[in-house]
Structure formats: structure tokens, C-alpha cells
Homo-oligomer: A and B are copies of this chain.
């Protein structure tokens, strides 16, 4: 591990978690983050308050090995999107597992990655804020080991970057990736001709900026069936590949490694399959950016993984076993005002609700010290800011004070609701804790 990262993580571990952190036991004295795993706490034995967010380390370990196998079998690199977790300890874990770098979406996320010693960063976004542009250039100047990439999708954005880079005197060019997009989609050039115009602007602005490859994000593509979505994704990845091929043919990219990057957490198999033996006209480093594989989920990505398994276009490692859900939010039953309607201490402030609602997965009656799988027939039907509506059978054995654990759908929007998340083993012993920075 890099020395700066080692030092910064040690500092983070030494930082005090006090009563301003949701999830710290009520009335606990401030405790160092790195000490939390040594206190003998257990979620089911009454040591933690509710609601509380936990990561199962067995699932994280499994997912980490799983992605490592996939990545190596496919011969691609992984630059996981850090925006999912924004957790320096998980960034470190991903880099230790062989990640090529860490992806970020904003200059704020970049600032956190840099603070915690990440040396190679793709900002999978336009870098537009003058403050952010100046910060990146200053970091590049200060640290020759800092390798940074950001996106461009218009000549205007290239000029904006080049103007500031020209006066910054970094001594090496700002590395740009040409973003391809789809009509009606998000950012990115809609046609190869538009991409060529952007590339021309970059070439004209050399040596302050340099084009190092192409980028796209297929995750915004939708379809009425998984097959339709997969076909549209494949077409988009082929479009990005065609931009890269044209760029190589027309010498848009500077000397050195050429990068093609796409692949969120839902269709990375299609990206790898399309590109690993791609006919680009020159060697191209394929970089996936999946951010959610490490924690997976119990909704969106669990469903998307069924599609991946069904497609089976990638390796056996993919189709045999898949990632497991690591992120859970645990709650107390606070009221059962009607038969079949319980309220749990978890609301919009605590858990994802943007894609689908949380999924009850485990139950531990008040006083028990073990959990069992949640019986069928329960679902969260609504969330208020601080309440969850849990519908179940009229003769449910649930009682006020029982604990119910939930899986989430779309980990990104649960991580950002917790600055403190516990690491637990399968018996819910707390083995550590991480911080997030949103």
C-alpha cells in the first residue's frame, strides 16, 4: 500500500467517532474508528442503536474474490466507481485487490480520494468548475505520481480546460477521455462526427491537454426487456469502440496507452465481451468502472445479475456464483397499530428508496441473540422521513421491540445516509467500522 494512503488511513482510524455520528451506541463515549472492532459489540445483543447500517465482511470478501476472478479471466482492468461507497477503507481494499485506480464523479469525491492517497483517478464526468480545474492542475504539479483522467464531450469544454491548463505550467498534459453518449441519454457525443470535432479541439490545444481514450456509461440505457436493454448496450459499446477505432486511425490520441472505459455494475459483462478482443487497430486497455460489485445489493443489482447469469456471455466464474448482498440496515419494530401493519425505525433518511424499497431479509425477536431469515409475505410498502411501513400477514408473530434486517436496492443511496457503517461477521459481531465522506 502506498505510504500516503497508509498514513491517511491510520489517521482516519485514529479519528474519534462521537455522538454526532448516527449509529454510535447511544451514550457511548467517543471512540476511535479503528478501535470499534475490538470492543466486542454485537448487533443482536443490544450493543448498537437502531437503525444501524452494517456490511457483512463474508460477502465483501466473496465479492472481492469474485470480481478479481472475472477481471483476470476477461483480461480487463477495474477502476471501481468510488461514488458508491465514498469510503477510503473500501477504496484501499479495492486497490489492494488489484484495482487499476478509483473512479469519481465530482471534484469533492476527487478531493476525498486524494486525501486518502489514491494516485490514479478517472473522473467519469466533465470537469467544468474553474475551482476544480485549478485544483486538479495544482495536484498534478505537486505530485508527479498523480494520474488523472476526465471527460470531454464538446469543443467548448476542451477549450475551457485548455485555457486554464495553459497558464498552470504543470509540465505534463491534462489527460482527457472522449465521452460518447446516446440520443436522449446523458452527457457525451451523440455521433462519431461530434466526437471527431471534440478530438480536433483537443489536438489543437496540445500540449496542455491530451486525448488518452474513450469513455461511455451504458448504465443509463433502459429497455422493455433485459434482452432489448442488452442489445442497446451492446450497440452503444460498439459505438464507443468505433470512436476509439476512428481515433486510432486518425491519430487523435497521443503516444502511449489508449484507454477504453465503460461498464457500470449491471452490464460490465457486455462491455468486457465486446472489447477484450476488440479490433481497434492498436492495443487498447479496457477499464471497467463497476462500483457496486463489492457490496452488491438485494434489489436493483441482484436483479441485474440475474440478467448477467442468463446472458452467460462471459466466463464460468460469472455464471456459477455471483456477488452477494453485503449491505444491511437493521431496525426495531416500534409500533403495530393494525394487524398486518408494523412500523420500523427506518425511513428515507436511512435507506435507499430511489429505485425500489428495502427488502426485509432477517428477523430477530426481542431478546434473541441470533437472526433467522425473514418469512415470506413481508414487504416495505412506503417510507416516510423516519418511518418504514412493513406490511405482513395479519397473524404475524412480529412484536414491538423485535429487530428486522433489510437489504437495499441501489447501494449508492444507502451509503450516503451513513457516515459510520459497521463491519460484521455472519453472527453480527462487530469486527470493524468504516467512515464514508459524502
Contacts and interface: CB of A to CB of B under 8 A. Distances in A.
Interface of A: 19-20, 22-23, 25-27, 46, 49-50, 83, 105-108, 111-112, 115, 125-126, 128-132, 134-135, 138, 153-154, 156-157, 160, 181, 183-184, 186-190, 220, 332-338, 341, 343, 345, 348-349, 353-354, 384-387, 389, 399-401, 412-413, 416-417, 437-438
B335 A22 contact: no
Contacts of A335: 126, 153-154, 157, 187-188
A349 to B, nearest CB: 6
A438 B134 contact: no
B188 A337 contact: yes
Nearest to A136: B26
Nearest to A81: B385
Number of chain copies forming the complex = 2
Contacts of A157: 334-335, 400
A111 B400 CA distance: 23
Nearest to A50: B129
A332 B138 CA distance: 21
A26 B183 contact: no
Contacts of A183: 338
Contacts of A413: 348-349, 385
A181 B389 CA distance: 14
Contact of A26 (B49, B129, B220): B129
7 A-B pairs with the lowest CB-CB distances in the bound complex, closest first: A187-B335, A105-B386, A126-B334, A26-B135, A26-B131, A128-B334, A27-B135
Given A105-B385, A126-B400, 9 more contacts: A49-B131, A106-B386, A128-B333, A128-B400, A181-B337, A186-B337, A187-B335, A187-B387, A188-B335
Given A46-B130, A348-B354, A400 B343 contact: no
Contacts of A384: 186, 220
Interface centre among A105, A106, A157, A389 (most CB of B within 10 A): A106
A347 to B, nearest CB: 8
A228 B280 CA distance: 64
A401 B159 CA distance: 12
Nearest to A138: B27
A155 to B, nearest CB: 10
A131 B27 contact: yes
Contact of A160 (B106, B353, B401): B401
Given A126-B334, A132-B26, A337-B181, A49 B115 contact: no
A129 B386 contact: no
B105 A438 contact: no
B399 A385 contact: no
A398 B156 CA distance: 13
Contacts of A131: 25-27, 46, 49
A333 to B, nearest CB: 8
B153 A20 contact: no
A382 to B, nearest CB: 9
B20 A112 contact: yes
A107 B26 contact: yes
B401 A190 contact: no
A301 B155 CA distance: 42
Contact of A106 (B181, B338, B345, B416): B345
A29 to B, nearest CB: 13
Contact of A111 (B26, B333, B349): B26
Interface centre among A335, A385, A416 (most CB of B within 10 A): A335
Contacts of A338: 183-184, 190
Contacts of A334: 125-126, 128, 157, 187
A49 B335 CA distance: 44
A404 to B, nearest CB: 12
